[in-house]
Chains A and B, each alone.
Chain A
Amino acid sequence: MIWSLALHSLRHRPLRTTLTAAGIAIAVGSMVVFLSLGEGLRQAFADELSGVGAEIQISSGPFEASGFGSVPELPLSTIDDIKRVGEPLGVIDVIPLVLYLRGGFTPDSSFAFQGLPADIDIAGVYPGYEIVAGRGITPEDANRNVAVVGVQAAERSNLEIGDPLRLSPDATFEIIGLADATGGLLSNGILVPLESLQVAIDSPDRVSFLVVDIDDPSRADEVADALGEAFPELGVQTAGDVLAVIERGIRITDVVRLGISAIALIVGAIAVANTVLMSVFERTREFGVVRAVGARPRFLFGVVLAESVLLSIVGGLVGVLLGFAGAWIVNIVSADLIGLDVAAITMRLILFSLAVALAMGLLSGLAPSARAARIQIAHAVSQGN
């Protein structure tokens, strides 16, 4: 009875019902898009890091403080110290890595240079590493300015084999091949011999990170702890630590994005409450009649609450669809600009959004429902005679 009367009432005023549901849909839709950015970033980072073979990486200080692209600070000599201490712990190899970001005004003129020793097996650092075109870096390239470009970086910046890549006014690298690997870290970057990158950025004997290879990956935490104790001045992180730091960063942006969404939702909820309240006032006489023929106050409470819940469920469902459309558009743009899908709509995001829509309906329906339940029959039926 309650739901049937609520449905009839909503259908009786199709325009008002549609507009109100559209308001909710837009509020929920924008929330879905905002939150999908965080989900997308999480997925992207998880993918990228799963593409890194190293279980442990070492930087010159705490990971959070060592910004990407700052000057490499780790002395090369550290490698031997770590090898010596790490051998009994199961450390197989320690690979130095120099990271240098050449910023540009647009994403397609920004490059992430990664210097790795010319004589190592890249697949050990980037599982699934393969040369797609041209050739890879060989030990003979150690002091040459050659570069292997990730396929996504190449596509984005329109690079081809033989093209020069300017790192600084004094250093230009020649592209000798295109490569791909699992995850996007390599595919979005540029691989050059460690030694030539050190010379090019005038930072010999210093590296950004040390990538530690161990024989038993499941003992990564244990080994990392031992190394951290032996070298308190260094930052030692497992892949899990890195993810945790990134997760924390995304959480912070979650709060910001939730805040923005909350504003849209509150505005939407107030609009719904206002519309439903107005429709209660308009129906005072009619509700009086409903009470006169024997309905209890809680029946009217239920009818009005059911109306706003129905509105918000429909609005919420449409909002999720709008969110899909919005995230799709965001991804078209972001894939074009930075080669990443930054928005992702996950099941938990869908469920969360529907729950928020339902809560919005319940909350905004409360005041109008209470108003409807308080209607005095004698007063109501004498109206508009």
Chain B
Amino acid sequence: MSGISDTMSGMLAAEAVTRTYTTPAGDVHALRGVSHAFMPGRVTAVMGPSGSGKSTLLNLLAGFDRPSSGRVVFDGVSLGDLPERELAGLRLRRFGFVFQSSNLISVLPARKNVAFPMGLAGLSLRERTDRAQALLERFGVDHRADAVPNRLSGGERQRVALARALANDPDVVFADEPTGNLDRSSGREVVNALREVAADGRTVIVVTHDGAVADAADVTLRIVDGEIDDAADASETALHEPVAST
């Protein structure tokens, strides 16, 4: 895995971001002005009650959705200014994703799931297979490389998903409740893996209800009612030093 030398590459920031959903029942103000800079080399946990707007924030940061006002800036570029084609390229080469569960392509075996984004990026079959194998080994699931997702345990699935998130060596890894369906020990494995990913110098953003995940994070961001809860501000937890990039 190539290291990321430029510390500031991969910085993602929300600037006064709001998101209002228009529904037949009226407007839902899911985010009411969130500003925060997510730093490379650190795991940032986004916490908060259900319905507070965590997933909405993640969707905006990842470019799945566009803010009603405010900006999401990645490496100095506002995502809102990019056409869908370039957003897809960004997600392919600079972002990686892990979702709560069943976020693998069900018809493809584990190795092909990991190799899939590499194929989209135009890597040769050989490179794809070798790299995918190496990533599966890294997360300890290489022995399951030929199994389709529904033959994998929940923990194995999330580790394969993590391997896939790193397929094209991204700068930012997003995870929405990656431990939501896992028991404690599987959850811990996934958290440790996320910490390792941050240790590569990547920006890791984890939406979670899981206290154990928050404890392992470098930064915790609390969202309440679509706003950052200042009482538990995004101060660095003293537990972990930010991981220096190589």
A interface residues (Cβ-Cβ under 8 A, vs B): 1, 5, 8-9, 11-12, 285-286, 289-297, 299, 376-378, 381-382, 384-385
In the A-B complex, the 10 residue pairs with the smallest Cβ-Cβ separation, listed nearest first, are A294-B92, A378-B64, A12-B107, A377-B64, A378-B59, A8-B107, A378-B65, A294-B91, A296-B88, A1-B119
Q: How far is the CA of A9 from the CA of B112 in the complex (A)?
A: 13
Kindly specify which of B9-17, B93-101, B136-144, B229-237 makes contact with the partner chain: B93-101
The reply on B103 being an interface residue by CB < 8 A is yes
Contacts known (A5-B107, A5-B108); A292 close to B64, Cβ less than 8 A: yes
Listed A/B pairs (28) with beta-carbon separation below 8 Å: A1-B119, A5-B105, A5-B108, A8-B112, A11-B107, A286-B106, A289-B103, A290-B105, A292-B62, A292-B97, A293-B92, A293-B96, A293-B97, A293-B120, A293-B164, A294-B91, A294-B93, A294-B120, A295-B92, A296-B84, A296-B85, A297-B84, A376-B64, A376-B65, A377-B65, A378-B65, A385-B101, A385-B180
Q: Is the CB of A1 within 8 A of B99?
A: no
How many A-B Cβ pairs are below 8 Å?
Answer: 75
- Interface centre among A8, A290, A385, by most chain B C-beta atoms within 10 angstroms, is A385
Name the B residues within 8 Å of A378 (CB-CB): 59, 64-65
User: Interface size for chain B: under 10, 10 to 19, 20 to 34, or 35 or more residues?
Assistant: 35 or more
Which listed residue (B88, B99, B180) contacts A295, Cβ 8 A? Answer: B88
Q: How far is the CA of A1 from the CA of B118 in the complex (A)?
A: 10
B interface residues (Cβ-Cβ under 8 A, vs A): 55, 59, 62, 64-65, 84-85, 88-89, 91-93, 95-97, 99-108, 112, 116-117, 119-121, 164, 167-168, 176-177, 180
Contacts known (A297-B84, A378-B59); A289 close to B105, Cβ less than 8 A: yes
Q: How far is the CA of A377 from the CA of B120 in the complex (A)?
A: 17
CB nearest neighbor in A for B109: A8
Q: Is the CB of A12 within 8 A of B64?
A: no
Q: How far is the CA of A376 from the CA of B87 in the complex (A)?
A: 13
Which listed residue (A5, A9, A296, A381) contacts B64, Cβ 8 A? Answer: A381
Name the B residues within 8 Å of A12 (CB-CB): 106-107
Distance in Å: Cβ of A254 to nearest Cβ of chain B: 43
List 9 other contacts, CB 8 Å, given A12-B107, A294-B91: A5-B108, A289-B97, A293-B92, A293-B97, A294-B92, A294-B95, A295-B88, A299-B120, A381-B176
CB nearest neighbor in B for A12: B107
Q: Is the CB of A289 within 8 A of B107?
A: no
Q: Is the CB of A293 within 8 A of B116?
A: yes
Which listed residue (B65, B107, B117) contacts A293, Cβ 8 A? Answer: B117
Distance in Å: Cβ of A306 to nearest Cβ of chain B: 13
Q: Is the CB of A381 within 8 A of B107?
A: no
Q: How far is the CA of A11 from the CA of B109 in the complex (A)?
A: 13
Name the B residues within 8 Å of A297 (CB-CB): 84
Q: How far is the CA of A127 from the CA of B104 in the complex (A)?
A: 74
Name the A residues within 8 Å of B117 (CB-CB): 293-294
Q: How far is the CA of A297 from the CA of B117 in the complex (A)?
A: 15
CB nearest neighbor in B for A296: B88
CB nearest neighbor in B for A291: B88
Q: Is the CB of A294 within 8 A of B88?
A: yes
Distance in Å: Cβ of B76 to nearest Cβ of chain A: 21
Distance in Å: Cβ of A307 to nearest Cβ of chain B: 11
Q: How far is the CA of A128 from the CA of B202 in the complex (A)?
A: 90
Name the A residues within 8 Å of B64 (CB-CB): 292, 376-378, 381
CB nearest neighbor in B for A1: B119
CB nearest neighbor in A for B93: A294
- Interface centre among B89, B107, B176, by most chain A C-beta atoms within 10 angstroms, is B107
Name the A residues within 8 Å of B99 (CB-CB): 289, 292, 381, 385
Distance in Å: Cβ of B113 to nearest Cβ of chain A: 9
Name the B residues within 8 Å of A294 (CB-CB): 88-89, 91-93, 95, 117, 120-121, 168
Distance in Å: Cβ of A286 to nearest Cβ of chain B: 6
